[in-house]
Amino acid sequence: MSQLNKSAISPRLRFIFSILLALSIFPAQAPAKESKISSQISDVRHLLQTGILQTLAAKELCSCVYIAQVPLNICQARANIPSTALRTLRIDNDTEKKTISVSLSLLGYFLANEGGDDAMTQTFVKAKARFRTEQPQLGCQLIKTEETSPPSK
């Protein structure tokens, strides 16, 4: 697929996507809880922008999959990360290298950038954790943190 660019997404579509994003991440709440929802969105945005969420997810899911030997989908359900926050992440499992890579999903890019014009041009942290079979006593280790561009799909 061709890579999306910021000119391909109209401001109206970006606004609609932002509303749908907020509704899909956070369930309907009473009006009195609007400030709490806003605070939660802000917290998740900060964790995505700094790479904390990606790094935490990579390490936790690697330990669950390769040390506890639990299937990835069950690890995601058991994670100490809210399922709503996991929706903003793209999680890749390389079983051959025993590596979990975590980057932002398209939804995560829009949330991290508040759907702004630069949402498709900024880069964010991609974290990797690997279980080293030659040193199993060390468990899963973070092996790489890099900058990534928005996904093309």
Residues 6+ apart with CB under 8 A from 4: 120, 150, 152
pTM: 0.70
The predicted pLDDT at position 2 comes to 41
Q: What is the mean pLDDT of each run of 10 residues along the chain (153 residues)?
A: 48 61 56 68 84 92 95 92 86 95 87 64 81 89 74 56
Whether 57 and 86 have beta carbons less than 8 Å apart is answered as: yes
The predicted pLDDT at position 141 comes to 93
Sequence ranges of the domains in the chain: 6-148
